[in-house]
Amino acid sequence: DWTPAHFITDTVEALKKQIGDRKVVMALSGGVDSTVAATLIHRAIGDRLYGIFVDNGVLRKGEFESVLELYGKLGLNVKGIDARQRFYDGLAGKTDPEAKRKVIGSLFIDIFQEEAKAIEGIGLLGQGTIYPDVIESVSVHGPSVTIKSHHNVGGLPAHLHLELVEPLRLLFKDEVRKVGRELGIPADMIDRHPFPGPGLAIRILGEVTEEKVRLLQDADHLYVKALKDTGLYATVWQAGTILLPVKSVGVMGDERTYEFTVALRAVTSVDGMTADWAHLPYDFLANISNEIINNVRGINRVVYDISSKPPATIEWE
Ligand code: XMP
C-alpha cells in the first residue's frame, strides 16, 4: 500500500539508478511541486543537483529572499538569479496577456539555458511535473484549444534536449504534500497556494511597470497575511489580488484622490479546472479593504470577485 515513507524510499532508490553519477539541473519556482521534487532528487544525489531560481520581478513581495532562505535550510544547492530588470525591459509596452506570457516564458528559457550551460557536464533535467500536469497538457493545452498558454517551467524540456527526471509524475497534489511533509519540508511551504509562472504580470491588467508591481505586491502581501492570520488561507485553493487598469475618485482626509482599484480573488477548487468563488466572511472583507486602502498609497478602492470558473477563469488574464 502507498505511504509517503515507502514512496520516498522507492523513489530515492529509483533516482539513484536513473541518474548514476551524472548531474541534474532544475528550475525551482518556490512552489510545492518543484521543492518536493528537488528535495527527493537531492536525497538521491546530493549537490550533483543544481537548482536555479530566477527572480523575474513579478514574484510576491519578499518571495525571492524567503524562498532562497528556505532552500538553504533544506540543504539544497540552489543559485538565485536576479533578472528583474531583464523582465521589466521585456514586458515594457506589452499589454496582451498572451504576449506577456510569451515574453516571460522565453526570457525564462534564455536565462535558464545560460545558467545550465555554465555548469559543466549537465546530463539531466529535473522537473516537478505531477500527474494532473501530464493530463492537462494533453486535454486543455493540446492542439485543439489553448485557453491560456501556461508558460512555466514546463516549457523547458523541448529546448534543452536533456533526459528528464520527474519523480512526482504519478502523484496528485495531496500526495505530493504528504511526501513533502514526510521529507520534513516546513508546513508553510507545503500548504502554499498555486501561483502562476508569469506571476503578478498576469494580475496587473494591461502594461506591467515596476511601480505597479510594487503596488500590487503590497496589496497582495496584506491580503495573504490577513488570510493566514484569520485561518482562512487553508480554506481556499488559491487567493490573490489583481490590479485593475482603472482609476476612480476617492476621498482621503479632505483631499480628493484619483487612484487604482484592486480586486481580491479567492476560490475553492479541487484541481483548478473548475472553481467557485470563496464565500469569505463580510467582516474579513471589510477589514482587509480598509487595511489595503489605508496602507497602500495608490489604491483607493477594493472590490471582491464573485465569478466562478467556468465561465470566468481563476486569473483575470
Ligand atoms: P485559470 O486562470 O486558467 O487558471 O483558471 C487555472 C490555474 O492555472 C494557473 N495559471 C497558470 N499557471 N502559468 C502557470 O504556471 C500560466 O501561464 C498560468 N495561467 C494560469 C492559475 O493560477 C490557476 O492556478
Q: Domain for residue 313, yes or no?
A: no
Same domain, yes or no, for 185 and 209? no
Same domain, yes or no, for 24 and 113? yes
Same domain, yes or no, for 105 and 8? yes
Q: What angle do CA 50, 166, 51 make, to 5 degrees?
A: 15
Q: Domain for residue 195, yes or no?
A: no
Q: Domain for residue 311, yes or no?
A: no
pLDDT in tens, 122-138: 999 999 999 988 876 65
pTM of the entire structure? 0.92
Is ligand 1 within 6 A of the CB of residue 315?
Answer: yes
Q: Is 129 annotated as a binding residue?
A: no
Name the residue with the closest Cα to ligand 1, atom 12.
196
Supply φ then ψ for residue 112, to 5 degrees: -60, -40
Q: Domain for residue 310, yes or no?
A: no
As a whole number of angstroms, the distance between CA 101 and CA 198 comes to: 6
Atom number of ligand 1 nearest to Cα 238? 24
What distance in angstroms lies between residue 268's CA and the mean position of ligand 1's atoms? 14
Is ligand 1 within 6 A of the CB of residue 56?
Answer: no
What distance in angstroms lies between residue 271's CA and the mean position of ligand 1's atoms? 11
pLDDT at 150 (0 to 100): 60
How many domains in the chain?
2
ipTM value = 0.99
Q: Is 254 annotated as a binding residue?
A: no
Same domain, yes or no, for 39 and 184? yes
What distance in angstroms lies between residue 137's CA and the mean position of ligand 1's atoms? 13
Name the residue with the closest Cα to ligand 1, atom 9.
196
CB 302 within 8 A of CB 289: yes
Q: Domain for residue 126, yes or no?
A: yes
Q: Domain for residue 104, yes or no?
A: yes
Residue range(s) defining the domain that contains residue 16: 4-190
Same domain, yes or no, for 186 and 207? no
Is ligand 1 within 6 A of the CB of residue 132?
Answer: no
Same domain, yes or no, for 17 and 149? yes
Q: Domain for residue 317, yes or no?
A: no
pLDDT in tens, 79-115: 999 999 999 999 999 999 999 999 999 999 999 999 9
Q: At 207, which CATH number?
A: 3.30.300.10
Residue where a domain terminates, one of 190, 219, 245:
190
What are the beta bridge partners of residue 299?
A: 260
Mutate to test the pocket of ligand 1, among 130, 148, 267 (most ligand atoms within 8 A of CB): 148
Per DSSP bridges, beta strands 122-126 and 163-165 are parallel
Per DSSP bridges, beta strands 49-55 and 78-82 are parallel
As a whole number of angstroms, the distance between CA 8 and CA 40 comes to: 7
Residue where a domain terminates, one of 128, 161, 190:
190
pLDDT in tens, 22-60: 999 999 999 999 999 999 999 999 999 999 999 999 999
Same domain, yes or no, for 156 and 26? yes
pLDDT in tens, 259-290: 999 999 999 999 899 999 999 999 999 999 99
Q: Domain for residue 142, yes or no?
A: yes
Same domain, yes or no, for 238 and 89? no
- CA atoms 142, 146, 150, 155: torsion sign: positive
Q: At 30, which CATH number?
A: 3.40.50.620
Atom number of ligand 1 nearest to Cα 195? 22
CB 288 within 8 A of CB 302: yes
Q: Is 32 annotated as a binding residue?
A: yes
Same domain, yes or no, for 75 and 102? yes
Residue where a domain terminates, one of 155, 190, 225:
190
Is ligand 1 within 6 A of the CB of residue 178?
Answer: no
Burial class (CB in 10 A: 0-12, 13-18, 19+), 21: exposed
Exposure class string for 181-193: b at 16+ Cβ within 10 A, else e: bebebeeebbeeb
Same domain, yes or no, for 181 and 208? no
pLDDT at 271 (0 to 100): 84
Is ligand 1 within 6 A of the CB of residue 314?
Answer: yes
Same domain, yes or no, for 169 and 95? yes
Instruction: Find the Cα–Cα–Cα–Cα dihedral 157, 158, 163, 167, rounded to 10°.
Output: 30
Mutate to test the pocket of ligand 1, among 153, 315, 316, 317 (most ligand atoms within 8 A of CB): 315
Atom number of ligand 1 nearest to Cα 309? 5
Is ligand 1 within 6 A of the CB of residue 194?
Answer: yes
Same domain, yes or no, for 38 and 111? yes
